[in-house]
């Protein structure tokens, strides 16, 4: 069990293009993937990407049952995805408030595709493919962005819709988080 420190916005390591994983093996599971799971759980994140713990590989983890950071979000199955890719299944987008463990204390309004198909390998090297919508689709797009050196603030179109959670909560713009 190793909780790693999460790199924060401003760290140039978060801006790199991550490398594809060549071999999915026990070593990868017991090191990088386990550290990502432990770190995500400790930080109560809805998702994490390997570059956030300083590992420049194309691995993302996401999922939530009931997450105090996202009280209105529908559940998403806990998923480990290696070398993920996605395709939008419609040009429809919507905007919602996002947060990120690399941008602590802030939320911003970000446009994302509403309906996507994603694929990748699971932790056993088996191919996984899903058609998903809304919050589930949003989380995947956010995490894949991390593998391409993008953080959600780069996607915000109207920077007046970016701010500290406390202030946004007080203004009634995002739901108050119980913690």
* Residues involved in catalysis: 143
DSSP E strand boundaries for the chain:
47-49, 59-64, 76-88, 93-98, 106-113, 115-121, 127-133, 162-164
Which residues, 6 or more positions from 10, have their beta carbon under 8 angstroms from its beta carbon? Answer: none
Q: Which residues 111-150 are close enough to bind Ni ion by CB under 5 A?
A: none
Q: How far apart are CA 161 and CA 143, in angstroms?
A: 21
Under a CB-based contact definition with an 8 Å cutoff, are residues 32 and 50 in contact?
Answer: yes
Beta carbons of 50 and 58 less than 8 angstroms apart: yes
Q: How far is the CB of 100 from Ni ion (least distance, A)?
A: 3
Residue (59 or 100) nearer to Ni ion, CB: 100
8 A C-beta contact, residue 46 and residue 73: yes
Min dist. Cβ of residue 69 to Ni ion (A): 11
Nearer Cβ to Ni ion (21/101): 101
**For residues 90 and 104, which CB has a smaller minimum distance to Ni ion in the complex?**
104
Q: Report in angstroms how near the CB of residue 36 gets to Ni ion at its nearest.
A: 12
Question: Contacts with Ni ion in 89-108 (CB under 5 A)?
Answer: 100
Comparing every residue's Cβ against Ni ion, the nearest one is 100
Q: Does 18 bind Ni ion (CB under 5 A)?
A: no
What is the binding site for Ni ion (CB under 5 A)?
100
């Amino acid at each position: 069990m190793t909780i790693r420190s999460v790199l924060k916005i401003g760290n140039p390591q978060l801006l790199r293009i991550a490398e594809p994983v060549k071999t999915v093996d026990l070593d990868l599971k017991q090191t990088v993937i386990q550290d990502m799971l432990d770190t995500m759980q400790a930080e109560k994140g809805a998702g994490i990407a390997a570059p956030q713990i300083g590992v420049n590989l194309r691995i993302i983890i996401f999922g939530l049952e009931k997450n105090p950071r996202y009280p209105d979000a529908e559940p998403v199955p806990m998923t480990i995805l290696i070398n993920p890719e996605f395709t939008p299944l419609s040009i429809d987008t919507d905007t919602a408030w996002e947060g990120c463990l690399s941008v602590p204390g802030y939320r911003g309004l970000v446009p994302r595709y509403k309906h996507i198909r994603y694929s990748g390998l699971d932790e056993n090297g088996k191919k996984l493919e899903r058609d998903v919508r809304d919050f589930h689709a949003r989380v995947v797009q956010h995490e894949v962005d991390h593998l391409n050196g993008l953080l959600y603030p780069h996607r915000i179109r109207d920077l007046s819709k970016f701010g500290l959670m406390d202030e946004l909560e007080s203004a009634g713009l995002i739901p108050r988080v119980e913690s």
